[in-house]
């Protein structure tokens, strides 16, 4: 199967390539695509070298699937051109997520809505994916009324420039800044740009995307997104208020039985999720599960996941695996 990876030289693109190899995806021909300045350079995949090609050359090769991780502007311009030649595009940017004609997919939750007609499929925001992975099974059981989430997000979510800024600051080296402030020894309560309502774009993604993924507008999500000086994964402090009461041991059991979730929750042994444990893993880790004693039917939990893997590359490749397994490409 011909597979194009658009944005193959970026942080997420590199993880995509690694995972396609790791998961033995049926790639017969890899088509790596990157910006014009990278065209002609080679990348290695499964001990074979491939030349990076332009968008037009990639479209001419008519890949079965194109996995995009090249930013929203690129996706808006080029995804429809791939779709026109019959390629199924899985897009990692925010470009198509809230488009009413496009599906927003977390495979464990809603892959069953996909059909052969879906030629542009949106991959959700990294912090949304780990949030809905934990919320979906609980929503099914107890019906959510309201969610309040505060995120503690890795610099890798911003990209290579931000990782370099943190490393430079730790080493005491002056360099290019990805953020308006130092990130080392700091916490920046701004992820992405501010919208007119005073929330950042990232916070509004967390408010809107879960409703679309769960196909339910009856619950609300209020978010505060914060960038912190870590590189291994995103963490989230989550408070959920349900319509129905719950039993804590049943909540743990429900999460434990959910594919893709690992429960790490034992205060006696100081066992709880942390980015250093989630890094390089595909699962979503949930812990600090406890009743909110100030509010009826409310629960607190802590959710951690590798934002480059399940938050981006793994989710996209799981979508591709579902398409292949169900003969939708």
pLDDT 10s digits, 224-257: 999 999 998 999 999 999 999 999 999 999 999 9
Interacting residues of 17 by C-beta distance below 8 A, sequence separation 6+: 5, 8, 30, 32, 43, 45
Contact 69/7 with Cβ under 8 angstroms? yes
Which domains are delineated in the chain? Answer: 2-124+312-325 (3.40.50.720), 127-307 (3.30.360.10)
Q: How far apart are CA 53 and CA 35, in angstroms?
A: 9
Contact 286/255 with Cβ under 8 angstroms? yes
- What pLDDT sits at residue 153? 98
Asked if the model's pLDDT at residue 219 lies above 90, the reply is: yes
- What pLDDT sits at residue 76? 97
Mean pLDDT over 21-27 rounds to 96
Asked if the model's pLDDT at residue 82 lies above 90, the reply is: yes
Structure tokens at 81: 């051109």
Q: How far apart are CA 148 and CA 236, in angstroms?
A: 10
**For the chain, percent of residues with pLDDT exceeding 90:** 97
- What pLDDT sits at residue 218? 98
191 carries an active-site annotation: no
Coil vs helix vs strand at 36: helix
List the one residue out of 205, 226, 236, 220 whose CA is nearest residue 131.
236
- The phi and psi torsions of 246 (rounded to 5 degrees) equal -140, 165
DSSP state of 124: P
Q: How far apart are CA 225 and CA 2, in angstroms?
A: 38
243 carries an active-site annotation: no
| Degrees to nearest 5, angle at CA 277 with 276 and 281 | 115
Contact 307/157 with Cβ under 8 angstroms? yes
Structure tokens at 181: 């402030």
- What pLDDT sits at residue 296? 97
- What pLDDT sits at residue 124? 98
First to last CA, the chain: 10
Mean pLDDT over 43-59 rounds to 95
Contact 239/299 with Cβ under 8 angstroms? yes
DSSP letters, 125-143, are: PHHHHHHHHHHHHHHHHH-
What is the band of 36 on the pLDDT scale with cuts at 50, 70, 90?
A: confident
Mean pLDDT over 30-41 rounds to 93
Select which of 139, 184, 191, 234 is catalytic: 234
- What pLDDT sits at residue 232? 87
Least confident of 47-51, 222-226, 281-285: 47-51
Asked if the model's pLDDT at residue 108 lies above 90, the reply is: yes
| Degrees to nearest 5, angle at CA 76 with 199 and 29 | 125
Dihedral (CA of 144, 252, 130, 234) sign: positive
Q: How far apart are CA 89 and CA 320, in angstroms?
A: 9
Least confident of 36-40, 77-81, 174-178: 36-40
Asked if the model's pLDDT at residue 126 lies above 90, the reply is: yes
H/E stretch holding 50: strand 48-51
Select which of 126, 139, 184, 256 is catalytic: 126
């Amino acid at each position: 199967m011909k597979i194009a990876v658009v944005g193959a030289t970026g942080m997420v693109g590199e993880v995509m390539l690694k995972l396609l190899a790791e998961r033995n995806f049926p790639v017969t021909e890899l088509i790596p695509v990157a910006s014009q300045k990278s065209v002609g350079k080679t990348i290695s995949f499964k001990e074979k070298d491939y030349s990076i090609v332009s968008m037009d050359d990639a479209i001419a090769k008519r890949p079965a699937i194109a996995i995009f991780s090249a930013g929203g502007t690129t996706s808006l311009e080029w995804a429809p051109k791939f779709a026109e030649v019959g390629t199924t595009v899985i897009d990692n940017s925010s470009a198509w997520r809230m488009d009413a004609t496009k599906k927003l997919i977390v495979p464990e939750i809603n892959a069953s809505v996909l059909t052969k007609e879906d030629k542009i499929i949106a991959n959700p925001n990294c912090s949304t994916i780990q949030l809905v992975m934990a919320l979906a099974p609980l929503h099914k059981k107890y019906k959510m009324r309201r969610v309040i989430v505060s995120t503690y997000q890795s610099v890798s979510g911003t990209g290579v420039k931000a990782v370099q800024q943190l490393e430079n600051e730790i080493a005491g080296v002056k360099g290019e800044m990805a953020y308006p402030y130092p990130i080392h020894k700091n916490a920046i309560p701004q992820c992405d740009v501010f919208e007119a309502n005073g929330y950042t774009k990232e916070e509004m993604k967390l408010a809107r995307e879960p409703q679309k993924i769960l196909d339910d507008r009856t619950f609300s999500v209020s978010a505060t997104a914060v960038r912190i000086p870590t590189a291994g994964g995103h963490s989230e402090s989550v408070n959920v208020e349900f319509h129905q009461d719950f039993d804590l041991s049943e909540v743990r059991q429900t999460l434990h039985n959910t594919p893709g979730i690992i429960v790490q929750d034992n205060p006696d042994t100081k066992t709880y999720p942390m980015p250093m444990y989630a890094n390089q893993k595909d699962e979503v880790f949930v812990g600090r599960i406890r009743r909110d004693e100030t509010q009826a039917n409310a629960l607190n939990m802590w959710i951690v996941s590798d934002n480059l893997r399940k938050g981006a590359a793994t989710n996209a490749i799981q979508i591709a695996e579902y398409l292949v397994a169900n003969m939708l490409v």
